[in-house]
A and B are shown apart, each in its own frame.
Chain A
């Protein structure tokens, strides 16, 4: 069965510093890969997605992610975080775009 691992439960980063959130997956084939962000009490907003092609994908709010097949990873990065980036981040995988499997999330705290 497919699974998604986000090894970091909680990350604290200074405003203006760079950010990398890790995501590893276990899947029978190359899945569709997604990063979503969730603010408290809100739904999930899609940051970016990878279906095929260029393994470095650009998303909204200055985020990017790189698919590495050899490492079964899809890490999320941002060169300089803003206080408004504080939220919960979820990595998700699916075969096609249907039944998504989510990781347990990484909570991002931004300090001044």
Chain B
């Protein structure tokens, strides 16, 4: 089945620093979705990417889908303590979300 690998597994940053997490697949994906899960919380949908080379921005967050539709990235500019949590890049296989390990972000004030 489809496998989506995400790196790094953990990232510790100082508040104000930038953060990037990367997602890779060995096969072409029809879509990539990004979710965020705060500590003790549940996953919350952030965005969906479907087009080759697509770039979407949400305030300080920039999401990118690779030209070959095999990789994706999430970049956060000037992290804040509210950014703490685990970010998952996910392949939505006809309604079945295939989660990887995610990247756990901690932000030191």
**Bind each other:** no
Chain B residues with a Cβ under 8 A of chain A: none
Chain A residues with a Cβ under 8 A of chain B: none
